[in-house]
Amino acid sequence: MAKSKKYTNRRSVSLDLTGLEEYAQRIAETGRNVDDAVAKAVHESAKPIYDDIKDWAERHKRTGVGLEGVDLSDPEQSGNDISVTVGINDDKAPGSWHMVFTEYGTPTQPADPGIRNAFDNNKSKVKKIQREVLKREGMPID
């Protein structure tokens, strides 16, 4: 006789994480501020993306407004999240939002995605820089 499959309506996942207490203890023993270290790591790791976007905007320079709008923000913290914003900032250079037409194209102009490519092409570099900075700041990363 064939075995019947058992289906369930369970919509939860149970995770068992071990070693977090030991890792938190290792961080505490460094005597360093984790938030400051992470902010430095996030900011430094965004620079290759910023540089690629800047190069892309330079290639499409017409009035210079798009190039002036390329921006890398300072790190901002919201709860436990620390982030930077990198890309085109219309507040920095009003009118730079027009670079969206270069990024995505128009009915008469093909797309030249520079911002998306900057993020996609630098993923491994970003991770490497973050590890290096955290290690330099004394954070246990292994």
pLDDT tens-digit map of 57-69: 999 998 889 999 9
Q: What is the residue range of 112's domain? A: 22-136
The string over 20-33, giving b where at least 16 C-beta atoms fall within 10 Å of a residue's C-beta and e elsewhere, is: eeeeeeeeeeeeee
Q: Which residue has the tokens 């149970």?
A: 14
> What pLDDT does 11 receive?
64
Q: Is residue 52 part of a domain?
A: yes
**Beta-carbon contacts of residue 57 (< 8 Å; ≥ 6 apart):** 66, 67, 69, 70, 88, 99, 114
pLDDT tens track for 40-98: 999 999 999 999 999 999 999 988 899 999 999 999 999 888 999 999 999 999 999 99
39 domain residue, yes or no: yes
Judge whether 63 lies within some domain.
Answer: yes
Q: What is the pTM of this model?
A: 0.80
Give the Cα separation of 89 and 84 in Å (integer).
Answer: 12
In a domain, 9, yes or no: no
pLDDT in tens, 97-140: 999 999 999 999 999 999 999 999 999 999 999 999 999 988 88
pLDDT at 142 over 90: no
In the chain, how many domains are there? 1
- In this predicted structure, what is the pLDDT of residue 139? 85
Q: In the block, which residue shows the tokens 């630098």?
A: 122
Burial label for 52, CB within 10 Å (0-12, 13-18, 19+), is buried
Per residue in 11-36, pLDDT (tens digit) is 666 666 677 677 778 877 888 888 89
Q: Identify whether 110 is part of a domain.
A: yes
